[in-house]
Amino acid sequence: MPSSFSFIRFAEHDGGEARLGLSVRDRVLPLEGTVNDLIAGWPGEQDRLQALADGPQDGWLDYAELTVLAPVEPRQVIQAGANYRTHVIDLGVAHRSPDDPRTEEQVREDTARMMDQRAAEGIPYFFIGLPTAIASATDDLVLPSYSQKHDWELELAAVIGTTAHRVTVDEALGHVFGYTMVNDVSTRDLIFRKDMPEIGTDWYRAKNAPGFLPTGPLLTPAAFMGDPQDITLRLDLNGRTMQDESTADMIFSVAQLVSHASQNMPLLPGDLVLTGSPAGNGMHWGRLLREGDVMEATITGLGTQRVACVGGAA
């Protein structure tokens, strides 16, 4: 049976040259070129890479001995918000007005009806992230001192393979090269502009600090991921499970997200389309990130992230 394989970017020594690698069962074979070269040449290179994955292990490196880098170098990062049904229902309860006469169960029922209607008749909510926020799956996360309300948001990210512009839902997954894992870290008290409430959200300040998008470690071709609506995401904080959900809880599927995002702008090879975060963020638990915390995250087929939180300079 052919081996499944993924790709990573790595350096053989800390601070060394970034390289692309073929990853099979914790072994890495260095490849020529960049990850965007790989995506541009796919699927013409697929048979050759499959043969390498199935072949002898000569020249392969031990994953544990490498410095892991983010596996992608996107030009654009498209982010979907409020895309998991249970998560949005939890937010409806968490953010209800103190003078709301409804019980918690009534709020949940009302929000669930709204989400069902949104899934049937609405469109996804998108915003733009900055590639400069991307970090590796093992880099420390520096918590900026301007807030004490930094939160985790584990997400599946689709990596675009071929330019997608105004594609249909049926066409959308044909433009996806593969998937990677991201933790879309957010500063909760900066999301809404209190000084300009009529403007609404401020995603630039809330989500784009250096390192606020730990990514990887693996980039896995779509062919090895199966149904993108049957993938499990899990995030543990200091050994306690905080998020544990299936992509089946998405309001809009990966195909719908890619299609809708492509209506306004061309999605380019290597770009990321983040698909939203499931229930279990820090706001839900009443426990946000602190110096010394360690987040360990897994998504089916995409490896493990281990990110330690450190304090930022005042």
Domain boundary, last residue among 69, 87, 104: 69
**What is the domain-level CATH number for residue 279?**
3.90.850.10
Which tens digit of pLDDT belongs to each residue from 100-143?
889 888 888 888 888 888 888 899 999 999 999 999 999 999 99
Which residues lie closer than 8 Å to 283 by C-beta, 6 or more apart? 91, 94, 151, 188
**In 3-state terms, what secondary structure has residue 20?**
strand
Which residues lie closer than 8 Å to 236 by C-beta, 6 or more apart? 242, 295, 296, 297
**Measured at the alpha carbon of residue 228, what is the angle toward residues 175 and 86, in degrees to the nearest 5?**
125
pLDDT exceeds cutoff 90 at 91: no
Distance CA 178, CA 162 (A): 11
Strands 6-11 and 67-69: antiparallel
Contact 175, 161 (CB under 8 A): yes
Is 48 contained in some domain? yes
Tokens 């031990």 sit on residue: 62
Same domain, 85 and 61: no
Same domain, 145 and 226: yes
Same domain, 106 and 216: yes
Same domain, 238 and 195: yes
Domain boundary, last residue among 69, 101, 117: 69
Say how many domains are in the chain.
2
Same domain, 157 and 212: yes
Same domain, 249 and 158: yes
Print burial letters for 7-43: b (CB count within 10 Å at least 16), e (below 16): bbbbeeeeeeeebbbbbbeeebbebeeebbebbbebe
pTM of the model: 0.94
Q: Which stretches of the chain are DSSP H helices?
A: 35-41, 46-54, 85-94, 104-121, 169-172, 203-207, 254-264, 282-285
Q: Which candidate, 6, 131, 153, places its Cα nearest to that of 83? A: 153
Q: Which stretches of 125-271 are DSSP H helices?
A: 169-172, 203-207, 254-264
Same domain, 110 and 25: no
Same domain, 19 and 154: no
- Helix axis angle, 104-121 to 85-94, nearest 10°: 140
Same domain, 167 and 40: no
Contact 296, 137 (CB under 8 A): no
Is 165 contained in some domain? yes
Is 185 contained in some domain? yes
Same domain, 180 and 33: no
In sequence order, the β-bridge partners of residue 34 are none
Same domain, 247 and 111: yes
Confidence of residue 32 (pLDDT cuts 50, 70, 90): very high
Is 1 contained in some domain? no
Tokens 């499970």 sit on residue: 241
Judged by average pLDDT, the poorest of 32-36, 173-177, 309-313 is 309-313
Confidence of residue 161 (pLDDT cuts 50, 70, 90): very high
Same domain, 161 and 59: no
Domain boundary, last residue among 26, 43, 69: 69
pLDDT exceeds cutoff 70 at 314: no
Distance CA 95, CA 169 (A): 33
By residue range, what is the domain housing residue 267?
Answer: 77-311
